[in-house]
């Protein structure tokens, strides 16, 4: 992932230049390092999604992916890696009517 960067409109506009699927981590940094507070993804435009959080978190990290499915899988991995420090313990959702499965747990196995 790229970052962390300050979560400001102009920073996102300068650094997240491709309108494509991606995953992100939002949080803050102190002397101990970056602290994840939120993970997420966009299936279409990761920059637009990150901009929605300006004013709520101080920093962000992000990565681009070739497909929405790859962004979903990476969001799931980030969720499982950081779940203890996240503001929400809700597992990432998958696209409606998809058969995508989480690579780290069996939440969608039925």
> Per the domain annotation, does 21 fall within a domain?
yes
> Per the domain annotation, does 102 fall within a domain?
no
The single residue listed with the structure tokens 């499965």 is: 101
- Nearest Cα neighbor of 104 from 20, 53, 39 is 39
H or E segment at 2? strand 2-6
Query: What pLDDT does residue 109 have?
Result: 80
Structurally, how many domains does the chain consist of?
1
Query: What pLDDT does residue 14 have?
Result: 97
Query: What pLDDT does residue 110 have?
Result: 64
> Per the domain annotation, does 26 fall within a domain?
yes
> Average pLDDT for consecutive 10-residue bins of the chain (110 residues)?
97 97 96 96 98 97 98 98 94 94 89
Domain span holding position 48: 2-85
Query: What pLDDT does residue 53 have?
Result: 97
- pTM of the prediction? 0.94
> Per the domain annotation, does 93 fall within a domain?
no
- Nearest Cα neighbor of 62 from 93, 19, 103 is 19
Residue 43 is encoded by which pair of tokens? 């299936």
Q: Residue 65's domain is classified under what CATH number?
A: 3.40.1440.10
> Per the domain annotation, does 104 fall within a domain?
no
The answer to whether 22 and 42 have CB atoms below 8 angstroms apart is yes
- Nearest Cα neighbor of 62 from 98, 100, 14 is 14
Those residues whose C-beta lies under 8 Å from the C-beta of residue 101, and which sit 6 or more positions away, are 108, 109
> Per the domain annotation, does 49 fall within a domain?
yes
> Per the domain annotation, does 96 fall within a domain?
no
> Per the domain annotation, does 14 fall within a domain?
yes
């Amino acid at each position: 992932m790229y970052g962390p960067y300050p979560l400001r409109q102009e920073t996102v506009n300068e650094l997240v230049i491709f309108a494509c699927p991606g995953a992100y981590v939002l949080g803050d940094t102190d002397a101990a390092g970056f602290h994840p507070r939120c993970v997420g993804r966009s299936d279409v435009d990761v920059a637009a999604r990150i901009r929605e959080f300006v004013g709520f978190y101080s920093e962000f990290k992000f990565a681009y992916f070739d497909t929405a499915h790859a962004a979903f899988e990476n969001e799931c991995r980030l969720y499982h890696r950081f779940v203890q420090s996240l503001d929400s313990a809700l597992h990432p959702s998958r696209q409606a009517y998809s058969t995508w499965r989480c690579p780290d747990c069996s939440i969608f196995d039925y």
